Structure 1
């Protein structure tokens, strides 16, 4: 048995998910005994998987799939059960976690840290009582700190040179190759983005035997049933100063602070023949992206300037006449 402690803490440092979404967070490693991990996963499922977050420190480069597969196979039913396991080296650093398991437990709006092998109920009980106590074993962390791996590898590369070459390629190649008409009347349209499966998609069957069909050829999915548009999308013809001024006014509004800006206009060029991206970045104070025809079709954009936002399971596209707004 090892000496462990319980103390009040503030759940800060997590990057993947806000700690306040959970009652319990458990720092684990694939180096822990499989029996301990199986037991913790089963307890989390019994409590309600969304109440418990498992955190690992990292993974061997190019082997994250192996790590997740190993952990998944420890679930009571690897093909049906699901618990939340996230890679969050920042959390390990924030709480100075050097051995596992370590629990962060919420009790009456306060958070407590409990170290050592113990059941989730046991960790909750210690959080309610507070104070020092002896728990079960602590184990070495098998996974590397993935941030340390990235930091070490980054020292071996000339990133400034790589960025310069990337900017040069962008200036030469990122040229929108189609135009859209200018809006002449304010209006609002709705569009449902879909995806049609080009061929059967299969996966391994239960216990790894045989295959099961996950999606059939010709099957159509409504994309917004499975994902969401993270930020508003603004489409603009950057050769039209009226549209540029209008978009600049939109970007000053809080609701469009994080919007992505896409440009059309096959004549947008600098004197050297490339796209004048740097000037547009300066005007909009953010990166800008070329709106290729296929992407425009995916958003359902028919004219510019336009603002695209999600409205339930569809996209709402609002069109604005720059003449009346400029």
Structure 2
């Protein structure tokens, strides 16, 4: 919806009236601007694009059926977030939290029962004009993989409160209303969530990971990393890593840490093949669609979506999602010779 704030408000009122009268097309126009940001919110809650899409679909279905109960003096966006947050909380109860291999709790659930964190395409990040530049930056940064992984270790209610308060910027009273609880309960949950976040997310891995590099530095680091893989040069790859770098490949539970261990893994395994890398964007981070040569198909075929976390000027972690849906990230199904 374009125009002045007054014009947009008038259009929204007209669309709401039409939707309440049974016009599903009007409802679609009304909720359209919010779908991307609702999906991103549900992803932060659930750690899964597919679960987030389910939660958003449930949210829109419930909103359509409940339009008669929406109070006109309230915020339609906040009302949608209330429904979405509660749908996500229900899904968490049914499906549990998601993990990355390097974050698995020793002695926890058997690996066969672990649900893995999924990557999120940057192209699905969406905002409405209600979000200012600072709020947009926070929203983008808070979808970074390390942040979302830590969120999964908070209790569901702490997770919801932290996102509503610190990411979406709702006041304590507003968050309490969305969760049907008290301001005191919200403040208590937020305090515990922030404390756990500080313990689980080291300062070096927090938001703003590219500050030391800037945009040109990011592009140069990405170019050198991809070139080294395509040349099969383990020395250059390892030189781009921090001393304590991590390398994992969900859904495989094994992961590697430190330059020596990663070098050994690469030279004995992946670098025995031929590779091509295509830049991608996922979780607000540097990412690549990786392709390995397949003799039978005479083409480079998808091998994994690699997300890179940067600390200072080096790569601190690589998470290679071996089962990523390349199409969701705008990547081709194969590459020619």
Q: State which structure, 1 or 2, has the greater radius of gyration over its C-alpha atoms.
A: 1
Tell me which interval the TM-score lies in, with the shorter structure as reference length.
under 0.3
When the two structures are superposed, what TM-score results if normalisation uses the length of structure 1? 0.24
The structure with more helix, counted as a fraction of residues: 2
When the two structures are superposed, what TM-score results if normalisation uses the length of structure 2? 0.23
